[in-house]
Amino acid sequence: VSQLLLGFPVALEFEFNTVSFPRPYVNGGVGVYYSRFSIDDGDDVPFDDDRSASETDVGLNIGGGLRFTPKLGLEVRLIDVSGFTTIPIMLTYRIK
């Protein structure tokens, strides 16, 4: 079984203005996501033929995180694309 979710999100971010680091922030937005899955005959599945599907959809995302330095942070984001929901935890690096 193989799965792929490739997204191009656009999000707005609000950083809480604290005196020092870490600085919390929240974000949310929309994106275009391409998803694909496939199941091969060799996988342990109850049917005999290969199956696969792919589609491109609009998805929503909402999340938040902590910025430890002006460039380095940690973020959790909930992404929902046509009923498929994932929650990635990401190390972030800002290029400014």
pLDDT for res 65: 97
pTM: 0.75
Q: What is the DSSP string of 35-49?
A: EEEEE-TTSS-SSSS
pLDDT, tens digit, 9 for 90 and up, residues 63-73: 999 999 999 99
End-to-end Cα spacing for the chain = 39
pLDDT, tens digit, 9 for 90 and up, residues 30-80: 999 998 888 776 655 565 566 788 899 999 999 999 999 999 999 999 999
Is it true that the peptide bond before 22 is cis, omega within 30 degrees of 0? Answer: yes
Task: Report the alpha-carbon distance of residue 14 to residue 64 in Å, rounded.
Answer: 9
Highest-scoring range by mean pLDDT, 1-5, 17-21, 62-66: 62-66
Tell me whether strands 51-67 and 72-81 are parallel, antiparallel or unpaired: antiparallel
